């Protein structure tokens, strides 16, 4: 059956505001301009005249081009697409957008960091905003969420304090887009409710690889109301089609310098090339009776509902397939609001949500300068707007007639109220009562139980990365008392974690079990990971769970090479057939192979370098492969940058490939030395398929596709080599390795000098 499409398309709606360049230049009021290069002067070298209205208008507009950036979520990027419902929720809600299977509802989605300014880098360790607007037949519906399902605070009255603490310190405006400083941890160390969120922020979730490799969450508990007026609680989830994948901390920092636009560039280029970014919408639906049985409060935004208790039902897909026409007009002027809901959806009594409902409307006037901001093209709904609101700064709508009030008879009683029976919005009639108090509910009081649940649910490498992140950030805190207070909180989560962080800070460990910390930057330590693997804590406020599904991003994720980018190292004289074969194999799986050469342009036989060893970096790619060709390899062997590419990729656990003579570049690198040291030696009687002792990677390469122990050992570490008749099969193995994303089992990673 053909898919139904929404008759009111947002792209067509926005097209009404698109003005292509005209043939004749005019000023803003349509006057033809004869000279846009020179001001009006009294003589060739005389003063500029005050009557130059063209100069005045041009400078006037330029002086006022900027609007205040968002206080939070200032750094953002967005794209258009659609949401298509695949499974109806009519049992729970009468919202059309969640009832009509097959309808493609236009969407606009903005991703952002929280703390940094508009000019900060994409890859800062931070919460990511994940704001989705659906232009539905019942008005705009915004799910204004994050890539983390919980938040730092329980009550909105603390939000200004949180943001003031994490922003650059006011006396010197340092640091930008970073939480590794005293004021943030001073606040956090005095706010125990933040501990669960803090574990997420120090996990790899806070440094996603790309926008479409991170989850999205509505954070709060909302209500679904069905046609019978019955209410169910709901949590909204966006599950990425490619799975959840992240950067490593060293990689994230290096990318910030190499390409601060890394995330927005990746999304833009993917869509420009005809690709898409995709998620599934999932819901956790449960009753208030279920919620009351749990040992945590679903109105507490610092808590999640584990998927073990309420599985996520996947009901639709989100596809982003069109870039913006103008960043300012769309991405910067879009005004999301938590109060943008449609009939059939309502709020819960979550105090953080209640405060956001006030704040989001309030902030639009400050940023956009007029109560008429909903008339901006990116904000206006597809349905007709009709009410008695009038006038105001920069009003666009021309409302005819003499009536601007209700009730009325002079206007025929229009616009008229819409009763609930015909789809008018009605709030759920929840029974509420109680004394007016400034108080926190006792059910909000457990601040460590779900932090322990999150910690227990991590794999060893994820635990190690959390420890390293805490080591790094707390080492930047200059006030010892704050560092010690944070260690006290970490001890309440897990004493071994606290001990590993304490050792890096020069403080006494909190546990008898310790290992030498791997380092707060990039080095993983097998001993530290092994210690942390067995370090678990008893949980509370977790529905009696000690470990929960879907919290680790190393387990149960899709294995796909789609969307990944490979650096193919090459120089003049490269084996063109190999390069083309690699690119074709990658393209067949939705990945890209970009040639990184010793110079831009033609490298021979139709191979074109679009990047150079000097203008790009391994951190900008998901994997590195060295192509063969004797002349090409001779050039690469003289370039330290080629070895640096391999070193960075190896240290960051990415797949590495080498074909034909390209194996010699890998062998000559520091990575090759470490790999050879780990191979079976002649004295160990380790042999390849031919029976010869394995002493070089070239020898391993000739047997890479055989069943020898050396070949298998390399492949287990995500290093794929192939020569002679094994090249084609090696290419296929390399593409398969790319789908695994990371290989954390590499030996002596700390020895790689990157």
Length of the chain: 754
Residue 149 and residue 143 in contact, taking contact as beta carbons nearer than 8 Å:
no
Neighbours of 166 (CB within 10 A): 23
Query: Which range has highest mean pLDDT (502-511, 524-533, 720-729)?
Result: 502-511
Residue 35 and residue 55 in contact, taking contact as beta carbons nearer than 8 Å:
no
**First-to-last CA distance in the chain?**
55
For residue 689, pLDDT over 60 is answered with no
What band does 399 get if pLDDT is binned at 50, 70 and 90?
very high
For residue 274, pLDDT over 70 is answered with yes
- Catalytic residue, chosen from 146, 340, 456, 494, is 146
Determine which of 232-236, 336-340, 588-592, 746-750 has the lowest per-residue pLDDT on average.
746-750
Q: What is the mean pLDDT of the chain?
A: 92
Q: What is the pLDDT of residue 246?
A: 97
Q: 3-state SS string over 505-530? A: HCCCCCCCCCCCCCCCCCCCCHHHHH
pLDDT tens-digit readout, 582-594: 999 999 999 999 9
Please indicate whether residue 399 is annotated as part of the active site.
no
Give CA torsion, residues 117, 121, 124, 126, to 10 deg.
40
Sheet with 719-722, strands from edge to edge, namely 611-612, 592-597, 565-569, 623-626, 656-659, 719-722
pLDDT tens-digit readout, 568-614: 999 999 999 999 999 999 999 999 999 999 999 999 999 999 999 99
pLDDT tens-digit readout, 275-295: 999 999 999 999 999 999 999
Token pair of 695, please? 């002493």
- Catalytic residue, chosen from 73, 202, 220, 741, is 73
Would you call 148 helix, strand, or coil by DSSP?
A: coil
Please indicate whether residue 64 is annotated as part of the active site.
no
Measured between alpha carbons, how far is 642 from 609 in angstroms, rounded to an integer?
14
Measured between alpha carbons, how far is 481 from 196 in angstroms, rounded to an integer?
21
pLDDT tens-digit readout, 243-252: 999 999 999 9
What band does 750 get if pLDDT is binned at 50, 70 and 90?
confident
User: Please, what is the Cα angle at 721 between 720 and 727, to 5 degrees?
Assistant: 115
Neighbours of 418 (CB within 10 A): 12
Residue 754 and residue 648 in contact, taking contact as beta carbons nearer than 8 Å:
yes
Percent of the chain at pLDDT above 90? Answer: 87
Q: What is the pLDDT of residue 710?
A: 66
Determine which of 2-16, 402-416, 631-645 has the lowest per-residue pLDDT on average.
2-16
Measured between alpha carbons, how far is 169 from 144 in angstroms, rounded to an integer?
27
Q: Is the pTM of this model over 0.85?
A: yes
Q: What is the pLDDT of residue 676?
A: 79
Q: At what angle do helices 249-258 and 640-651 cross, to 10 degrees?
A: 140
For residue 695, pLDDT over 70 is answered with no
pLDDT tens-digit readout, 335-386: 999 999 999 999 999 999 999 999 998 899 899 999 999 999 999 999 999 9
Q: What is the pLDDT of residue 677?
A: 75
């Amino acid at each position: 059956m053909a898919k139904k499409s929404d008759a009111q398309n947002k792209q067509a709606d926005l097209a009404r505001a698109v003005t292509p360049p005209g043939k004749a230049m005019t000023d803003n009021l349509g006057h033809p301009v004869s000279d846009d290069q020179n001001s009006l002067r009294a003589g060739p070298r005389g003063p500029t005249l005050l009557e130059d209205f063209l100069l005045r208008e041009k400078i006037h507009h330029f002086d006022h081009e900027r609007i205040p950036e968002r206080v939070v979520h200032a750094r953002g990027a967005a794209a258009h697409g659609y949401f298509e419902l695949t499974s109806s929720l009519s049992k729970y809600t009468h919202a059309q957008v969640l009832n009509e299977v097959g309808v493609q509802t236009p969407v606009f989605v903005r991703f952002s960091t929280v703390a940094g300014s508009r000019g900060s880098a994409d890859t800062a360790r931070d919460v990511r905003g994940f704001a989705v607007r659906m232009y539905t037949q019942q008005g705009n519906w915004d799910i204004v969420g994050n890539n983390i399902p919980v938040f730092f605070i329980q009550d909105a009255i603390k939000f200004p304090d949180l943001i003031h603490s994490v922003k650059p310190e006011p006396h010197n405006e340092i640091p930008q887009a970073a939480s590794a400083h005293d004021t943030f941890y001073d606040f956090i160390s005095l706010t125990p409710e933040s501990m669960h969120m803090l574990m997420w922020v120090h996990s790899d979730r806070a440094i996603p690889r790309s926008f479409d490799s991170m989850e999205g969450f509505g954070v709060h508990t909302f209500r679904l109301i069905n046609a019978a007026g019955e209410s169910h609680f709901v949590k909204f989830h966006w599950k990425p089609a490619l799975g959840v994948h992240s950067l490593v901390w060293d990689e994230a920092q290096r990318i910030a310098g190499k390409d601060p636009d890394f995330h927005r560039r990746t999304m833009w280029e993917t869509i420009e090339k005809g690709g898409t970014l995709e998620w599934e919408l999932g819901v956790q639906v449960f009753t208030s009776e279920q919620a009351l049985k749990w040992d945590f409060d679903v109105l507490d935004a610092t808590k999640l509902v584990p998927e073990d208790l309420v599985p996520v039902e996947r009901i639709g897909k989100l596809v982003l397939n069109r870039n913006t026409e103008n960043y300012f007009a769309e991405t910067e002027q879009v005004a999301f609001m938590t109060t943008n809901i449609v009939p059939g959806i309502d709020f819960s009594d979550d105090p953080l949500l209640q405060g956001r409902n006030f704040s989001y409307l309030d902030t639009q006037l400050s940023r956009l300068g007029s109560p008429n901001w909903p008339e901006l093209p990116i904000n206006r709904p597809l349905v007709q707007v009709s009410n008695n609101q009038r006038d105001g700064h920069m009003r666009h709508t021309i409302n005819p007639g003499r009536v601007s009030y209700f009730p009325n008879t002079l206007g025929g009683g229009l616009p008229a109220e819409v009763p609930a029976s015909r789809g008018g919005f009605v709030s759920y009639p929840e029974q509420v009562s109680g004394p007016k108090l400034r108080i926190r509910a006792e059910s909000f009081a457990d601040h460590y139980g779900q932090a322990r649940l999150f910690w227990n649910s991590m794999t060893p490498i994820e635990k190690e990365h959390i420890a390293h992140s805490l080591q790094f950030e707390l080492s930047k805190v200059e006030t010892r008392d704050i560092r010690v207070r944070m260690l006290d909180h970490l001890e309440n989560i897990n004493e071994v974690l606290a001990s590993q962080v304490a050792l890096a800070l020069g403080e006494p460990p909190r546990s008898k079990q310790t290992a030498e910390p791997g380092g707060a930057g990039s080095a993983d330590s097998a001993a530290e990971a092994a210690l942390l693997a067995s370090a678990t804590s008893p949980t509370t406020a977790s529905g009696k769970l000690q470990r929960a599904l879907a919290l680790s991003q190393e387990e149960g994720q899709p294995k796909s090479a789609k969307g990944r980018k490979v650096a193919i190292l090459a120089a003049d004289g490269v084996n063109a057939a190999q390069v083309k074969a690699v690119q074709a194999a990658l393209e067949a799986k939705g990945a890209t192979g970009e040639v990184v050469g010793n110079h831009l342009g033609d490298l021979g036989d139709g191979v074109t370098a679009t990047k150079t060893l000097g203008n790009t970096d391994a951190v900008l790619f998901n994997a590195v492969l060295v192509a063969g060709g004797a002349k090409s390899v001779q050039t690469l062997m003289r370039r330290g940058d080629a070895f640096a590419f391999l070193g960075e990729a190896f240290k960051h656990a990415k797949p590495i490939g080498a074909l034909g003579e390209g194996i010699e570049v890998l062998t000559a690198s520091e990575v090759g030395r470490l790999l050879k040291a780990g191979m079976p030696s002649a004295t160990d009687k380790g042999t390849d398929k031919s029976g010869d002792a394995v002493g070089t990677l070239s020898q391993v390469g000739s047997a890479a596709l055989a069943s020898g122990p050396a070949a298998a050992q390399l492949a287990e570490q995500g290093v794929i080599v192939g020569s002679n008749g094994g090249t084609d099969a090696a290419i296929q193995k390399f593409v398969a390795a790319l789908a695994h994303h990371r290989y954390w089992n590499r030996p002596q990673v700390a020895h790689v000098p990157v």
